[in-house]
Amino acid sequence: MVSERIWRNTAIALCAAVPLSFYVVGDLADAFPGVLTTVSSGSGQEAGPRAVAEDDERVTVPAPSGGIAPSVDPETSADLASRMDEHASEPVVDGNLAYSVVDAGTGEVIAERDAGTARVPASTLKLLTAAALLSEVDPGETLTTRALVSDGTVVLQGEGDMTLDEGDLRTLAEGAAGLAREQGSGTVHLAVDTSAIQGGENPAWGSNGTAGGWVTPTAAMALDEGWLDGEEYGPKSTDPVGDVASRFAELLGEQGVDVEGSVSEGTAPEGAAAVEVESAPLSEIVRHTLQISDNTTAELLGHLLAAARGEPTTPEGAAAALTDGVRELAAEVGVPSSDLDDLVIRDASGLSTQNRVPPALLAAVLGEVASGGVPALTPILYDVPIAGLSGTLAERFSEKEASTARGLVRGKTGYLGGSSALAGTAVLPDGRTVGYSIVVHGFDGSRAAEARAAADAVAAELVQGE
């Protein structure tokens, strides 16, 4: 439930001087717990389906230095590539393995295999969405939803907060009803102003769209992300704005103000009285998106990037803005534009099977994230799940070949039929911090679990010695 919104107030315990391996042992022993506090956003009544991962602990680790340990063995890189390549012979992989590992301290490639070929990134694309957005906007920004009251009309105006909960709508309804009564109106007309986010369903999602329960159409506002039964991959609203307006009208009625006629599109006049609620900061929405791989909020982030870059806030505009943003990131981390000839971005979540991203690009961007050289991107380091501990990696790295990497590798998962991807950061045994991207591809969809395990095993080689 979302009666207490986890994003509103997250306390973070930092252990910046503690080595990574020691911190993980301490965390597993509950010596260094993640700390969460929550504040009610509304009247205290039980809210609808949850829109955030209320039980996600924020497991924090020290930011890697990005430096190279003085005792680096010159043969380490070749050995790492050899060990990673061994997994290409696994039956489910059958040679279809691509990866790139980049030293965060120098930007140099440590190990790679077919890294320049653009592959289906699946949900690892969310990392690029997050990086492009944080490069463009203030992470402390929030999204405001307003109820504007004037001359017997109430206008609901949204800026893209798709995480509105029952408490938020009740706050708006109570305030709007009070303003309407002050203006002498016991009956009002209700309108919605969705001009900030045009949104809609992205044709590029194909069968991975709303009908399949994968994502809610992007909109200027939504109640609990449009999750109709509270499940991330359960039924989704096809009309999130309409759902918000309908529930808001009911809440106005509970306050003694009736809504007459049908809901229309409209804007409020200058000087209209207003009541408003704020979303969590964008930084927390990014964290939530990466932790549970939330497609709905990822698409919203893409639309917010479009708005910031002056593109139309449509699926096509979001894809164009993200493509341009990613190309700029690539230039910043030293990836030649000629290596991006096959780059294709059709959405912001990675649901589209048309997306194509070379592993070399993702690894280079993640190396930059881990280096700390671009402060705006550093939060991504902490937002990515930890193997065996948090987010979408909580149940991963369980097979024998990968289990020793639990707690030591961070990674964003990605899966679409025939493609299993993993991208994140790790610290090598010699002390180097790296960004990495791994793709296992070309397998039959019925072998998805095997492919995921293979990707985990490849990533585990990053933290294992000879």
The whole-number average pLDDT for the span 370-375 is 94
CATH superfamily of the domain spanning 76-139+284-463: DD-peptidase/beta-lactamase superfamily (3.40.710.10)
Question: Residue 121's pLDDT is what?
Answer: 99
Q: What percent of the chain has pLDDT over 90?
A: 82
Q: What pLDDT shows up at residue 15? A: 30
pLDDT at 232: 83
Q: What is the pLDDT of residue 74?
A: 55
- Mean pLDDT of all residues belonging to the chain: 87
Residues 6+ positions from 110 with CB-CB distance below 8 Å:
77, 80, 81, 101, 102, 103, 428, 432, 434
Mean pLDDT across the stretch 90-99? Answer: 98
Q: Identify whether the C-beta of residue 364 lies closer than 8 Å to the C-beta of residue 330.
A: yes
Predicted pLDDT of residue 57: 34
pTM of the model: 0.86
Domain boundaries, the chain: 76-139+284-463, 144-279
- pLDDT-derived band at 465, boundaries 50, 70, 90: confident
d(CA 295, CA 416) in angstroms, rounded, equals 13
Tell me the average pLDDT across 246-264.
98
Residue with the two structure tokens 């193997």: 387
197-233 burial by CB neighbour count: b if 16+ within 10 A, else e? bbbebbebbeebbbeebbbbbbbbbbbbbbbbeeebe
SS (H, E, C) the chain: CCCEEHHHCCCCCCCCCCCHHHHHHHHHCCCCCCCCCCEECCCCCCCCCCCCCCCCCCCCCCCCCCCCCCCCCCCHHHHHHHHHHHHHHCCCCCCCEEEEEEECCCCCEEEEECCCCCECCHHHHHHHHHHHHHCCCCCCCCCEEEEEEECCEEEEEECCEEEECHHHHHHHHHHHHHHHHHCCCCEEEEEEECCCCCCECCHHHHHHCHHHCCCCCECCEEEHHHECCCCCCCCECCCHHHHHHHHHHHHHHHCCCEECCCCEECCCCCCCEEEEEECCCHHHHHHHHHHHCCHHHHHHHHHHHHHHCCCCCCHHHHHHHHHHHHHHHHHHCCCCHHHHCCCECCCCCCCCCCCEECHHHHHHHHHHHHHCCCHHHCHHHHHCCECCCCHHHCCCCCCHHHHCCCCCEEEEEEEECCEEEEEEEEECCCCCEEEEEEEEECCCHHHHHHHHHHHHHHHHHHHCCC
pLDDT at residue 466, rounded to an integer: 65
Find the angle CA(309)-CA(312)-CA(316) to the nearest 5 degrees: 105
The average pLDDT across 278-289 equals 98
Q: pLDDT tens-digit profile of 26-81? A: 333 333 333 222 222 333 333 333 233 323 333 333 344 344 333 445 577 889 99
pLDDT tier at 334, thresholds 50, 70, 90:
very high
Say whether pLDDT at 10 is over 90: no
3 or 379: which carries more pLDDT confidence? 379
